[in-house]
A and B are shown apart, each in its own frame.
Chain A
């Protein structure tokens, strides 16, 4: 079975229907001088010349595979990726596959998405997962759409913890502009050291959703069980933005009572790739499935009773909901979602747990050693996973410039997003950081102190 393009005859029929004679007539609204502008391009190169030039440009990049030691996280993490992941992604059947609306020719892709959904549901503890979103930020914004739709616009307030990723909060604001939704809780002067329960002061009977992060943007791990109970008592839903690696080690958001669990799947076998593409996971409880954006693949049987897979629920999407669609995401990150599924299936339950424990142990070793340097200290005492806030004696930009000279990519400068956290560095440590690397960081920072 192949996809068949239109014939010249069919094209002419379509043109006649819209009332034009030729394809050119369709574009008369565009001034002729803009239709085929002369491009200012250099003469054509040979393939050899082009390859040499591109190789030179590529070699100018410094990356974490041999050039730099990285302690940079803040939402995107350097983890080991088994080579099988890339080999699977490059298979033509997956690499070039388009939206699998036709189950007859898309069984492989559909099954892969089904496996991805099952794995994400297992990891978060939730009942259903959709086929994915662009990234963690868009998935979180879609959680707002779900909650808003669930209360049919009768509750118009969303409470966001100031310790949710700053970029996620920005994306939520972009998504919800014009929806007449009140976003509160993360004002510039919001208290960052307080207990999550302080957010309850913002929750009232006009609140449809409360969003918290787990571990939070500063890496801290809280048990939200009591908090979620208290929010539910006020009738609102709770969305937990989670790091999937941490879920292998800590209590699941589902067991704490979360209604929606979202996050970025990048830590699960996806390279950092200059910041993208990534994959956003979205999981929820069965009762909210009709309000969930995106699509869901289900398992069924065909007319011969054989196991098969179909796009089973696409309730909020354009082709079903038409102009009333609450989400215009009709493209999920199928290929990247497949990558996370391959990663998770390779590592298995105990392998992922091992990764999480390595991250945890190494980060704690680093935190202890760094906090002993003269002038440096840890900002928080709460339990943390693989990221922590280091208070520095001088601006983080200065320290990072110095670290870079030693081949080290320093931590995230928190002063960029939180004015009160100037001289605060968010340090991420994963299983990729050896003890020697951590010791080197400590050594170089000790020099900075003396210098």
Chain B
């Protein structure tokens, strides 16, 4: 499991990069969901989102999940390419598979990489 230490993580498995404002889902989450075949991002550039609010929905071959924003702020950009290549979420969850980018963002209830890894391990049992 890959858990970059420069990112913050929500309990619901989204990551937030305080440096760039980007948001995505963790390596752990993509692995649990298995092959992702569809993503729909609900929010548009210019909208304000609040931490904990649903911003997207992803579907894998076995489940459909809502993605919640790990931070509050104004949406500066939406990764529109992702809809055409949802499998990127499986191959590059922390890179090309960012979903939205926030500006002036403040993180919600998030933890650091070590705490998130522990959180994931506990759930595995």
Interface size on B, residues (CB 8 A): 8
Given the complex of chains A and B, what is the CA–CA distance between A320 and B42 in angstroms?
19
Nearest-neighbour CB distance to chain B for A314, whole angstroms, equals 9
Restricting to B57-100, which residues have a CB under 8 Å from any CB of A? 59, 62-64, 66
Say if the beta carbon of A315 comes within 8 Å of chain B. Answer: yes
Query: Is A315 touching B42 in the complex (CB atoms < 8 A)?
Result: no
Query: Is A320 touching B38 in the complex (CB atoms < 8 A)?
Result: no
Say if the beta carbon of A34 comes within 8 Å of chain B. Answer: no
Q: Which of B42, B59, B63, B66 contacts A290 (CB 8 A)?
A: B59
Query: Is B40 touching A320 in the complex (CB atoms < 8 A)?
Result: no
Residues of A within 8 Å of B66, CB to CB, are 324
Query: Is B64 touching A321 in the complex (CB atoms < 8 A)?
Result: yes
Nearest-neighbour CB distance to chain A for B67, whole angstroms, equals 13
Q: Which of A290, A321, A322, A324 contacts B40 (CB 8 A)?
A: A290
Given the complex of chains A and B, what is the CA–CA distance between A315 and B65 in angstroms?
11
Q: How large is the interface on A (under 10, 10 to 19, 20 to 34, 35 or more residues)?
A: under 10
Residues of B within 8 Å of A315, CB to CB, are 38, 59, 64
Given the complex of chains A and B, what is the CA–CA distance between A320 and B64 in angstroms?
6
Residues of A within 8 Å of B59, CB to CB, are 290, 315, 320
Given the complex of chains A and B, what is the CA–CA distance between A290 and B36 in angstroms?
13
Say if the beta carbon of A33 comes within 8 Å of chain B. Answer: no
Residues of A within 8 Å of B40, CB to CB, are 290
Say if the beta carbon of A152 comes within 8 Å of chain B. Answer: yes
Q: What are 16 sample pairs from A and B whose C-beta atoms fall under 8 A apart?
A: A152-B42, A290-B38, A290-B40, A290-B59, A315-B38, A315-B59, A315-B64, A320-B59, A320-B62, A320-B63, A320-B64, A321-B64, A322-B63, A322-B64, A324-B64, A324-B66
Q: Taking beta carbons and an 8 Å cutoff, which residues of A are in contact with B?
A: 152, 290, 315, 320-322, 324
Q: Taking beta carbons and an 8 Å cutoff, which residues of B are in contact with A?
A: 38, 40, 42, 59, 62-64, 66
**Given pairs A315-B59, A320-B63, A322-B63, 13 additional interface contacts (CB within 8 A):** A152-B42, A290-B38, A290-B40, A290-B59, A315-B38, A315-B64, A320-B59, A320-B62, A320-B64, A321-B64, A322-B64, A324-B64, A324-B66
